[in-house]
Amino acid sequence: MKEYNTLDDFTVENKTVLLRVDFNMPLDKKTLNITDDTRIRLALPTIQELINKKAKIVILAHQGKQGSWDFISMQRHAETLQKLLGKQVTFIDDIYTEKAKHAIQTMKPGNVVFLDNVRKYSAETEKKKPEEHAQSDLVKNLAPLADLYVNDAFAAAHRAQCSLTGFTVVLPSAAGRLMEKELTSLERVVSKPEKPSVFLFGGAKFADGIATIDRLLTNKTADHVLLTGLTANAFLKAKGVNLGKKNEEAFGEEGTPEIFTEIKKVYNKFEKQIHLPVDFAIEENGKRKEIPLAGLPIEKNLFDIGEKTIQQYKKLLEPAKTIFISGPCGVYENPLFRKGTEEIFKFIAQSKAFSIAGGGHTVAAIEQMKLREKISHISTGGGALEKFMMGEKLAVVEALKTAKQRQLIQVKQK
């Protein structure tokens, strides 16, 4: 018996279902087109099941966050979903005012309406309790039009945000099929990882991962942590390495003095187990050029790890029985800087270790390199997966559990 409801617990025919998915996709910086549709494809079973059961499906999702370059409307997402479903998906450039409400009220069973980016509503990202979010304009306007709330956004399950938790207070709520699959498969693998275990962190976000790295090493869940990308650069900076102005600017808002103090503390504690790149790739005259650590500072962006780092990391990965991958090793979208990610990911794919990969960009890189079948478990989660790996509570899962409890109490009282 699950602690949360699933689609098995409800009849949905002719019911209006608010479906929160995580379609926060990797985009092409120039065209803003979706470069990898994995997250949408993985959510298809839930959407298809709801269509087959003749529900009216109202999709809520986010892309990027206010102020980021990838903060765009959900139109492209709706178009991609329409193509994959082979069925009309109506995009509405509104979230909860008259246009959205009218579209919902005029839906027929089996229809799919896709509302705009929920993060255009500024209260969406406020960190609040579900009960407080339930008082928001978003929930107050949409909940009365719906019969059921389904959350399939595992990748955002660590965010205590309005559209992710607020509806669970006022509507019968269930986990979607993807959420259910992620939770059941991850529960099976995170409790006792087979040793040695190696955790690889990379990509372009780093602040959220620091506490995770600390806990993984403190709990002895991880034997080795291999760093690449912006996370590696942040550790190098905290260690006192001068990266050069361009690379320092790349830390953006996440690069606060407090975060570097925190990183330094973690590094000092686990210096022997945290591994940092010893060489890098930069662009020179349109070509890839590798430079050693001693070549820093440099007024060019570090776009990939270099050959020596690749070899050192492979040696550490070789005896591993459990490997966790979060984030590509470099700017793999650019063929000049794909080498680090490609070599390391291919090495993991052919190893006998139980491998888990998570995060939008990680999964996109795995797809691009056609390695999906060779990784033991692919999770759609980035930050959510890391938190799950640490045994931390996920706001969305907690909200779904509370919703089930609330419902059981109501049934008893009747």
The residues that touch ligand 3PG, with contacts defined as CB under 6 A, are: 22, 24, 65, 155-156, 159, 360, 382-383
To ligand 3PG, the closest distance from the beta carbon of 312 in angstroms equals 28
Alpha carbon distance 242, 238 (integer Å)? 9
Nearest CB to ligand 3PG, comparing residues 20 and 53: 20
Q: Which backbone phi and psi does 90 adopt, to 5 degrees?
A: -95, 115
Short-list 66, 181, 172, 208, CA closest to 123: 66
Asked if residues 85 and 48 have their Cβ atoms less than 8 Å apart, the reply is yes
To ligand 3PG, the closest distance from the beta carbon of 385 in angstroms equals 9
- Pairing relation of β-strands 279-284 and 287-292? antiparallel
Asked if residues 195 and 223 have their Cβ atoms less than 8 Å apart, the reply is yes
- Pairing relation of β-strands 56-60 and 287-292? unpaired
To ligand 3PG, the closest distance from the beta carbon of 37 in angstroms equals 14
Nearest CB to ligand 3PG, comparing residues 51 and 153: 153
Q: Which residue is nearest to ligand 3PG (CB)?
A: 24
Residues paired with residue 369 on neighbouring β-strands, in sequence order? none
Alpha carbon distance 22, 74 (integer Å)? 11
Nearest CB to ligand 3PG, comparing residues 74 and 103: 74
Nearest CB to ligand 3PG, comparing residues 27 and 320: 27
Nearest CB to ligand 3PG, comparing residues 160 and 320: 160
Nearest CB to ligand 3PG, comparing residues 161 and 228: 161
Query: What strand order describes the sheet that includes 304-305?
Result: 287-292, 279-284, 304-305
To ligand 3PG, the closest distance from the beta carbon of 157 in angstroms equals 9
To ligand 3PG, the closest distance from the beta carbon of 115 in angstroms equals 16
Q: Which backbone phi and psi does 173 adopt, to 5 degrees?
A: -135, 145
To ligand 3PG, the closest distance from the beta carbon of 395 in angstroms equals 11
Q: Taking the chain, what is the end-to-end CA distance rounded to the nearest angstrom?
A: 22
